[in-house]
Amino acid sequence: VSEAAESLDIKARRARARRGEGERLKQEILSATEQLLAETDDFSKISMRMIAERVGVSPPAIYMHFADKDELLFELCEDRFGEFRKVMQEARSSTDDPVGAVRACGRAYVQFALDHPEHYGVLFLSKTEFPTDVTVEELNGYRAFLDLVAAVQRAVDEGRYRDVDPTIAAIGLWTSMHGLVSLLIRAPNFPWPELDVLVDHVLDVQTRGLAVDPKDSQSAG
Amino acid sequence: VSEAAESLDIKARRARARRGEGERLKQEILSATEQLLAETDDFSKISMRMIAERVGVSPPAIYMHFADKDELLFELCEDRFGEFRKVMQEARSSTDDPVGAVRACGRAYVQFALDHPEHYGVLFLSKTEFPTDVTVEELNGYRAFLDLVAAVQRAVDEGRYRDVDPTIAAIGLWTSMHGLVSLLIRAPNFPWPELDVLVDHVLDVQTRGLAVDPKDSQSAG
DNA sequence: TGTACATCAGTGAACGCGCGTTCACTGATGTAC
DNA sequence: TGTACATCAGTGAACGCGCGTTCACTGATGTAC
């Protein structure tokens, strides 16, 4: 394969960056890694050599921008979590109804995961050992979670959800959506029913499960 | 490490099986693989050489009992799913109440997963490519799922759950428990609240979400 | 009871491979005088 | 405007390693006569 590519000059070697433009290669490495993830969906099966070849650069060139393979994964994760957070924010802002906002968020979560299974895998399916000098609070992923807690809090404040701990309820929402998509991705051989039916059911159960108790609904109103 | 073991004779070479006792080694291989999974929790990081060393046998000996590494994983999975199914059955049979049975099942699911994260990982977290000649219906894992569908059906029949599709509801139950434990296992750095509180919440939401509608409860009774 | 032989449960060495990473280097680019 | 030089973005070859698997074999065990 690589022989053919060489002899046919299919993959031209990338033009070398000018001074001060080293950052360009860094971005190219990150996006090449994503491309490869899109194809194999497993970071551990992607080698530094494969990434280098995709970029059109020699393997050691990667080490000018990343200390090692783990650091590359970590930066990729942070970028993806930033994007993920934005998508969730947009979904929530599509409506003023706090319960509807949470539902929209759930739908967008599933959409994001199935549209980008490779991203999703990096974010939630691999066991990530993060650098010890990074605390969980400064991670984009954790910030996205706090956004969800706030959305739940709003629904509680407006009397739409019963008086649950918003952190617990947010974890419940998160884990239920995660469970669905991770099994959809990881167990493709399972005889799944239609996706929309499934997502609707999961969101229905969450909505009903978090709704105010019938007996309390009058005293609360 | 292995040098020290050799020179100190810590790990004696396993006694050779007598004729017709070849099956013994097969079981030893399976249980050694489980031991290793308990330590690393990642099948792809466990090599045939490591398994052979743990058993006290040479690497090629494994190929007398398994065609290749994938077949070893598959047999391990089937054994574990069989055990898993039994645990779920026992949990359900602890009560006559159909809703209680489903709840007990959910609790036992979390317990099983956290007690044996390595098993759980093999069952639900790795992308398993099964041999093409095996159909999903004959897998122990699928049978365990059908048991859950039946339990849900019972709760619907007895008027305890609203009139949901039992397959869809069972998938909802399954995915919500899976989401919880898989994130507990895979994101240990997340600031999780107390486990019992979490499990209670998830089961509460499922129970409330599947309960009969208040407005229908009188006409149904 | 004794012996030749088939069987079976393994062994030991090697295969070719791809991996992450390091090291000494190169050669175009920009800068100082 | 011309040239010596420092810098910077890379390169090419190699390191040592562990992997899954294969192959020719060995030697104890059981069996037939």
Lowest mean pLDDT among A5-14, A174-183, B23-32, B179-188: A5-14
Report CA-CA distances (Å) from B87 to A151, B106, B108, B126, B140: 38, 11, 7, 21, 13
B130 pLDDT exceeds 80?
no
Lowest mean pLDDT among B1-10, B103-112, B151-160: B1-10
Start-to-end Cα distance in chain B? 69
Mean pLDDT comparison of A6-20, B117-131, B138-152, highest-scoring range? B138-152
**Amino acid at position B93, single letter:** S
B58 pLDDT exceeds 90?
yes
Give tens-digit pLDDT for B142-165.
999 999 999 999 999 999 999 999
pLDDT score recorded for residue A172: 98
Report CA-CA distances (Å) from B106 to A44, A59, B78: 32, 48, 21
Give tens-digit pLDDT for A26-45.
999 999 999 999 888 788 89
DSSP characters over B157-215: HTTSB-S--HHHHHHHHHHHHHHHHHHHHH-TTS----HHHHHHHHHHHHHHHHBPPHH
Q: Could you tell me if B152 and B102 are in contact, meaning their C-beta atoms sit under 8 angstroms apart?
A: yes
Residue B161 pairs with which residues in a beta bridge? B211
> Which residue blocks in chain B are alpha helix, DSSP H?
2-7, 22-40, 48-55, 59-62, 69-92, 98-115, 117-120, 140-157, 166-186, 195-210, 214-220
- Show the CA angle centred on residue A70, arms to residues A81 and A82, nearest 5°: 10
Q: Which two tokens stand for residue A167?
A: 């952190």
* Residue found under tokens 């330590």: B39
Residue A161 pairs with which residues in a beta bridge? A211
pLDDT score recorded for residue A22: 75
Q: How far apart are CA B48 and CA B208, in angstroms?
A: 48
Query: Is B212 in the A-facing interface, judged by CB distances under 8 Å?
Result: no
What global pTM score does this model have? 0.89
Best to test chain B binding among A114, A201, A210, A212 (most B CBs inside 10 Å): A201
What does strand D contact on the protein, if contact means CB under 7 A? A 13-14, 16-22, 24-25, 52, 57-61, 64; B 18-19, 46-50, 59-60, 63, 68-70
Q: Could you tell me if B55 and B25 are in contact, meaning their C-beta atoms sit under 8 angstroms apart?
A: yes
A59 touches strand C (CB under 7 A): yes
> Which residue blocks in chain A are alpha helix, DSSP H?
2-8, 22-40, 48-55, 59-62, 69-92, 98-115, 117-120, 140-157, 166-186, 195-210, 214-220
Q: Which among A76, A68, A70 is positioned nearest to A27, based on CA atoms?
A: A76
DSSP code of A63? T
B25 touches strand C (CB under 7 A): yes
Average confidence score pLDDT of chain B: 89
Report CA-CA distances (Å) from A158 to A9, A109, A162, A193, A212: 64, 24, 10, 35, 11
Residues 6+ apart with CB under 8 A from B27: none
B200 pLDDT band (50/70/90 cuts)?
Answer: very high
- Show the CA angle centred on residue A136, arms to residues A130 and A139, nearest 5°: 85
**d(CA B67, C1' D28) / Å:** 25
pLDDT score recorded for residue B150: 98
DSSP characters over A165-194: -HHHHHHHHHHHHHHHHHHHHH-TTS----
A168 vs B172, B175, B201: nearest CB: B201
Query: Is B114 in the A-facing interface, judged by CB distances under 8 Å?
Result: no
B130 vs A180, A189, A197: nearest CB: A189
pLDDT score recorded for residue B8: 33
B176 vs A41, A179, A190: nearest CB: A179
Give tens-digit pLDDT for A65-121.
999 999 999 999 999 999 999 999 999 999 999 999 999 999 999 999 999 988 898
Average confidence score pLDDT of chain A: 89
**Amino acid at position B121, single letter:** G
What chain B residue is nearest to A44 in terms of C-alpha separation? B44
